[in-house]
Each structure stands twice: as C-alpha cells, then as structure tokens.
Amino acid sequence: MSEILDPTDLPEDQNENTLHQQTVVSGLYENWFLEYASYVILERAVPAVEDGLKPVQRRILHALKEMDDGRFNKVANVIGQTMQYHPHGDASIGDALTTIGQKNLVFDTQGNWGDIRTGDGAAAPRYIEVRLSKFGNDVIFNPQTTEWQLSYDGRKKEPVTLPVKFPLLLAMGVEGIAVGLSTKILPHNFIELIEASISILKDKPVTLYPDFLTGGYIDVSNYNDGCRGGKARIRAKIEEFDKKTLIIREIPFGTTTTSIKDSIIKANDDGKIKIKKVEDLTSKDVEIHVHLAPGVSPDITIDALYAFTECEVSVSPNACVIIKDKPHFVTVTDILRVNTQQTVELLERELQIRRAELLEKLLYSSLEKIFIENRIYRKIEECETFEAVLETIDKGLKPFKKQFYREITQDDLLRLTEIRIKRISKYDGFKAEELMRRLEQELAEVDDNLANLTRYAINYYKDLLRKYGKGRERKTEIRAFNTISANVVAAANAKLYVDREGGFVGSGLKKDEFVSDCSDIDDIIVFRRDGKCLVTKIQDKTFVGKDIIYCSVFKKNDERKVYNLLYLDGKSGITMAKRFSVTAVTRDREYDLTMGNPKSKVLWFSANDNGEAEVVTINLTAQSSAKIKQFDYNFAEVGIKNRSAQGNIVTKYPVRKVSLKSGGVSTLGGVDIWYDEHLGRLNRDERGKYLGNFDNGASILVVYKDGQYELTNYNLTNRYEPSEIAVLEKFDGERILSAVYYEVNQKSHYVKRFKVETTTQDKKFSFIGDTKGSKLLAVTADRFPRFEIAHQMKDKGPLEKMVLEPEGFIDVRGWKALGAKLPFAKVKEVKLLPPRRNNERDIAENRTITPNLIVVEPETEEPTDETTEIEDAGAENSTKQLGLFS
C-alpha cells in the first residue's frame, strides 16, 4: 500500500517549505486494480459453484423467501427488500430478477415479463408480480443447512451460499464479464440434468449438451464439455412452406425475431440473398415468413440464410465459477459432479438433523409417558421449593435413565414441570404408544437412508423428475451441421466484365464485354494468351495481364470442370496438348500452364463444365515440311492431369490455325452420390448411404412419411429433412413401392404396390389420397417386403399379429389406386420386417435393402362395417388372397 515518507528524510531545503505529506504512488495502481478486479469477480460477475448464483441472484432469492407467504408480490417491493442486502441499486436487481423470471424455473410470474423470443422487455416493476415456485421452494432453501453472514451494513444476515439440491447453474445458464475474465455457461435440459446426476451416482459416464427455450438446432461436435476453446453452432428451424415461401419456426439462442428480421433485410440489401419481403407474424409461436424472389431456389436460400444472417450463430462457452473464493475454469461435467456431491452432502445433513429431531421427540415422549403413568407428578405436591420439585422428578426418572440415548438435563426436567393438568387428565397411553411407534418407524427409515445414502439421493432425483419433469422435454434438436460455402449460396448481386486487350476484369467495367452474373464475394479465374492463369477476388476493376482468352467465376475443388489446351512451346516449337482441372490455388499468384519458356503461347483453349472432350482440326503452315498439313485431334485421347503437367506432343511442325470440328461428350462418366442421413444432404465424399452413379437427367426419389413422394435433381445444395423421409434413393421407373396406410374416407386400412409414373421434378404427389386424416403406416422400396401387422379382428377382440407379403398378395397398380383392403377392425401397429430376399438389382449393386421407416401407431377410427373379406379395389377374386398371409 502507500508509504508515508518522514519529512526528516528529505533534504533540508525541502523540509521548511513542505506543506503536505508526500505519498509514493509506485505500486498503488497495481494494488487498487487487483482489489477492484477481485471485487468484480467475486461479488458481481461470476457465480459460485455451490449454488450456481451470483450475489445479486442469491440476495433476490433470499429476500423473496423472507417475503414468501404463497401469494404474489409486486416486483417493485421485491427489489426494495433486496436492497437491504445488495448495495448496488435497483437497476441491477431489477434486471437480474427479470432474467431469472424469464427462465420459468424458480419463479412463478404474473403480468408482462417480456419475451426472450421477440426481445420485448418486461413491464415496469410496479405492474408485474412474482413468487417462488414450488420447485424453487423445494430445492433451494433450508435455514437449518444454510451458512449465514452479516449483510453489507451489518443490520441483517444473508446466506453465504444457498443449500441448492439441484444443478441450478447448468439449468439456467449464466453470462458475466469481469476484469480480465468472463464466464458463459449455456443452459441445459432439466430432465437430462437429473438423469445425468443419477448416472453420476451410479458411476456411469455422462454427456451433457445445451438446450434452449427458443428451440432450434445445435451442432455440439466442438462443444468440448462447455470449457474454454469449445464452440456450439446454433441454427434456426426453417421450413419450406412452398417454392416461394420459407417460414422460420424457431430461432437460435441469443437472438430475437427482430434481430433475425433485421439481419435478413441487411443480407438482402447487401445482395447476399434475393427476397421480396420478410414478415414477422410471431404471436404465441415464432413465425417469420420469408418471401422469395421469382426463380430463387428455396434450398440455396436456406443455406444463404444460415451463412449470411443470424439464422445461424456460433457461441463459445467458457465455464468459469468461483470455488473457494477463487475463479476456476472447469467443464460442465465437473460442475455437475460438484453439484451432485453437494446434493448428497446436503441430503445427509438434512437426514442427520431429522434424526436428531426424532430422537428428541422420542426422548420427550418417553419422559412424558413415564412422568404421567408412574404418577411422578403427585410426588412433587409436597415439595416446598422448585429445586425440590426438580430433584423429586429426577429421582422418579432414575430407574428409567438407562433406556434413554443421552443424559437427562435440567431443561428436560423443566419441560416436564410445564405439562398442564388438563393434558395429564386426558393422557391416553395407547395414543402415546402409537405416536412413539410412528416416530421409531420414521427413525428406522432415516437410519436406513443414512446407511444407503446413494440410493436415497437417487430416489430424491427421481422424485424431482416425477414432480417437475413434465413439460420440460428437450426443445433444441441436436444435429450435425454441414459446412456452407458462402461463395456457393451467395446470390448473384454483381456482373463480371472483361477488357481482353487491356487486361482488366471486374464488376465496374460496364462498357466492356459482359461475362456472367456473380456475387461480390466470388473469386475470378483468368487465363491469358501467354499460358498464364491466376485467381483473384472480384473488385470493380483489377489488372490481371493483357491478352485475356478466358475468365469466369472460380469454383474451388470443382473436379468436373476440365480445361482443354493446345500450346506452342517457345523454345522447341513443339505443339503440346493437355487437359487439366484447377481445384485449389493461391489467390493472386500466377501459374504457368506451359513449360515456362519465353514466347510460348496458347493455340487453343476450351472450358468444359462436365469434362467434355472436343475434336479440333489443326492446320499446319504451308512452309512446313509435313506431308499432311491438316489433321484432326481428339482431346478424348488425352488424360486429365494436374495443371503443371507438360502434356502430350501433337506436332513438331508450325501450326497455322486450330478450329473446332465437333463438340465432344463427357469423359468423366456419371457422378457418384451419397446421402448423409444425419445432415440430410447429398455429397460426393462417401459419407452416408450410397445412392448410385448419376448422369444427366437422373433423379432422386424421396418418399415422405406423410404419404407423398417427390422427384428431385441431384444438386449438392438440395436439403432433405431426415425425420420426414421414409425412402430416399436413385429414381428407377421400374422400382416398386409397397405401402400400408389408413384411408379416412373408407375408414379402412389398405395395402398397395405401385410404380412412380410421374417425371415432374420438385412437385409432391400423395399416393394415399388428399383427404386430411389419411395416414401412412409403413412403406418400403424393396421388391420382396414383409409387414408385421398387429390387429384386432373385432372391436374388442384379442390382439393378433400377422405377417403380410405384398408381392404375392396384390398386383402392381397405379400410384392413385386404393389397393387391397385389409379385413381388420383395428390396426394397432405395423412393423417393417427384413425382406424375404434381395432383388436382382440390389444383388447387382452389391447392397442390401434395410427397413428405413420408423413405424407410427395410428389413432384410427372404427370401421362402420365389419367385413371379414379382403376387398381389392379394381381386383377380382380378392377373397382368395387370404392364404397368402404367412
């Protein structure tokens, strides 16, 4: 701290003129800063690990408990009561109280408390009310196990920490910024926390992931157990209402509908997406409508919303808590283990306290029984002093003292003297015995719980789950997210122009040659006559070198884009041919496609999006000594190599002209496509289910669980919702689909087999009818499927199971046909069994069809008729098909 200098230590010429004491300031700043930083960390920003609360939150709960009478209290009154313990003003108390109330966990609220989804604030404190919830009362408070300290002014006592018997910190989450550090713990699911605590008590491994009241999706692949360095990606839930409208149903944690709407408008203004308008129709549920511009792909727009707006946010957790008056960086699992252990210790203390209370009650009941039944009270009638009275009672109890668990004290004797004559006269020995028996039973139960503390703690958690778990299921769906390339999904908000002779490219050269539409974040690839190429970021005007022969938008890792090149080597005069792809380069670095010799130049160049190989006609100069001065060259004979390859020799003679003879076909063949069932995306990286090799014109068949099917292209930008899909595979017009469904108009169940006869892409067709209430129960694309049907032949008949093989039961019909009616009064469940055998196509492709529909149990209406025969709509002699059940 400060050092006071002695004036005698100063020179004599300064002693006489010194009017004030002088203080050395070295070290003061460091000490004061540390004191301030420690104060902010310990008293304001970071929660304690014991109860998971910051001081202001703890004081709010304590003040509210003191006021608690079961009725609602004005928030303004609660703030005033809390100010007796918290010296930092009503604003910080009000904000903290509102934040706790919006968690819907430890408070019951009344009035307008705002909306975390829309960002609307709470009403003024005088208009809203609050009380402790039943859950809050049960798990947070117990004066007998609370450690107390004096408040800041010494007038009142406040808890050091509250005896919380629940991982409150992980349930509510916390965020705080202190001096030199911060904390950010994301909220977790109520039910999962309790189940994880039980697992810890059973010595089982646990894994916890965040859950938010706002719902949405979360990618926890880099969550890192909530400690420093981790990251969680959170996305909004976006639905494709139709080809022109997207609807946002749930929003990411930390955002509001207003902020999301503003970010969408900004992305549209910046040209990253193309929309007509965005409407916020949020009321009870989140509902933001995004209306797309004509011709805009919904799938690409969804990706663009995730890439350029707050529809996707990244949160970096940083679990920092106070442990023994010091901040510690820990994991979420560490916090849960500490909370679980603390809960066990608090339960043990409560049991010990209860045990002591029961022993005292038993002791007093025994003393009272002996005092009355042995008529000791009559012996004190002749005593002249109070000391003699106590001595007489003590002598009367002496024969019984060995049966008591402790010594009889003077206070015990005093309590016996306070028994009134009325109680003595009405004393019932039988009731006293019954009371003592109940106390002994409870004491035995407490002793058993103390001896089996882990079992008792597990039952405590299960009781919490039973009482308060309803309605607290997980709201945020855990998913793996794909990486979205901004260049791929960005809208074309700019135009690319080129000045070939001058050597300029850019979006501002509007008087020069137009190349294509592009976005302002695209890269541009340029090829020059001298055999050089480079990739550069698009700008208004960029010089890339004169004699440009080709420029276009560059797509990284596009292996199907192949460049065909004929060039003249400037040193040897030999004409070379090469085919190559440019997949990855360093931006603004020139690459030489020739041998690098001076005076080399390009004679022929073509860019082919799907690896096409053309045929060109080469004319040699008239002065050349070659006998054949004109010949054709087929690029299909040249292998595709990297850009640095020298190529194949075409001719050693001088070339006068090269011209196109005929366009070629792709030499790459089809594209192998896989479907990632976790992401709901197509890929070429061999992730997920292999769909097949796709050529131009091929389609993907998608069968949905709501009884519709759709054909789509195989663009990698397509999005599929895995939870809604029953079958997804490469479309084959000869493939037979088998389905069991409930038809609401007929009030009956049907089985049908059909081929997909439509070819229109991106349009859904219902194969179970358009009537609302019809339900698909099971569907498969296997040729030899088997369904296990749990059914009742009569309304109240026994439940029976039967295996149905549709292949021999019904012929293939049109996709609109009803199919064959099943003769059951009720169908409880339909299960898809493994196929009887694989069909020829599956064997040829060396793969096995497996069931791919999670069967649902329908809530069907009872049939009006009790037919017991199978009626095949459009089929004859269908009753004979009963024998095909196995």
Q: How far apart are CA 18 and CA 4, in angstroms?
A: 14
SS (H, E, C) 358-406: HHHHHHHHHHHHHHHHCCHHHHCCCCCCHHHHHHHHHHHHHHHHHHCCC
For residues 377 and 425, is the Cβ–Cβ distance under 8 A? no
Sign of CA dihedral 250, 255, 256, 260: negative
Give the residue carrying structure tokens 């599929």. 720
Residues 154-163: b if buried by 16+ CB within 10 A, e if exposed: eeeebbebbb
Strand 182-185 versus strand 320-323 pairing type? unpaired
SS (H, E, C) 674-738: EEECCCCEEECCCCCEEEEEECCCCCEEEEECCCEEEEECCCCCCECCHHHEEEEEECCCCCEEE
Helical H segments across 110-189, by residue range: 134-140, 168-172
Sign of CA dihedral 333, 334, 337, 338: negative
Q: How far apart are CA 848 and CA 319, in angstroms?
A: 47
Q: How far apart are CA 216 and CA 669, in angstroms?
A: 40
Residues 9-37: b if buried by 16+ CB within 10 A, e if exposed: eeeeeeeeeeeeeeeeeeeeeeeeeeeee
Q: How far apart are CA 440 and CA 446, in angstroms?
A: 10
Residues 760-798: b if buried by 16+ CB within 10 A, e if exposed: eeeeebbbbbeeeebbbbbbbbbbbbbbebbbeeeeeee
Q: How far apart are CA 725 and CA 740, in angstroms?
A: 16
Q: How far apart are CA 208 and CA 218, in angstroms?
A: 13
For residues 832 and 778, is the Cβ–Cβ distance under 8 A? yes
- The count of other CB atoms within 10 Å of the CB of residue 884 is 14
For residues 554 and 522, is the Cβ–Cβ distance under 8 A? yes
Give the residue carrying structure tokens 């409870």. 442
Q: How far apart are CA 518 and CA 509, in angstroms?
A: 14
Q: How far apart are CA 464 and CA 454, in angstroms?
A: 15
For residues 813 and 819, is the Cβ–Cβ distance under 8 A? yes
Token output for 218: 């979360």
Closest CA to 325 of 545, 55, 126: 55
SS (H, E, C) 99-122: HHHCCCCCEEEECCCCECCCCECC
Residues serving a catalytic function are: 127
Token output for 72: 């609602």
Give the residue carrying structure tokens 């008293």. 43
> What are the residues whose beta carbons fall under 8 Å from the beta carbon of 857, sequence distance 6 or more?
828, 829
Distance between alpha carbon 378 and the CA centroid of its chain, in Å? 77
> What are the residues whose beta carbons fall under 8 Å from the beta carbon of 354, sequence distance 6 or more?
446
> What are the residues whose beta carbons fall under 8 Å from the beta carbon of 500, sequence distance 6 or more?
513, 547, 548, 549
Q: How far apart are CA 272 and CA 306, in angstroms?
A: 11
Token output for 204: 């089982």
Helical H segments across 276-331, by residue range: 298-308
